[in-house]
Amino acid sequence: MEELLAILEELHPEVDFRTCCTLVEDKIIDSFDIVSLISEIHSEFDVAIPAEEIIPENFNSAAALYRLIQRLEEED
């Protein structure tokens, strides 16, 4: 989780990712962030997020994104 928070905080140092769970609805992250996140998650966790998992529910909070990473790691 800490590694993921570090990636997110580098993208948006002004956001508290520990508490925010409306990243998509409140337009805190945009399409550029999604692409950056997927590429950085790939190099940090060695997890490729498949296209069908790129949905708002998985990107709305750091926790949701972390759950996705864990799930994908297990499936691997």
Complex with other proteins: residue 19 or 31, whichever CB lies closer? 31
- The CB-of-28 to other proteins minimum distance in angstroms stands at 10
Report how far residue 22's alpha carbon sits from residue 19's, in angstroms, rounded to the nearest whole number: 9
Among 12, 20, 63, 72, binds other proteins (CB under 8 A): 12
Is 12:52 a contact under the CB 8 Å cutoff? no
Report how far residue 71's alpha carbon sits from residue 39's, in angstroms, rounded to the nearest whole number: 18
Q: Does 50 bind other proteins (CB under 8 A)?
A: yes
Q: Provide the sign of the torsion angle of the four alpha carbons 5, 31, 72, 61, taken in this order.
A: positive
Q: Does 14 bind other proteins (CB under 8 A)?
A: yes
Q: Within 13 A of 20's CA, how many CA atoms are on the CB side? A: 20
Among 5, 20, 45, 54, binds other proteins (CB under 8 A): 54
The contact set with other proteins (CB under 8 A) reads: 10-14, 24, 27, 29-32, 34-36, 38, 49-52, 54-56, 59
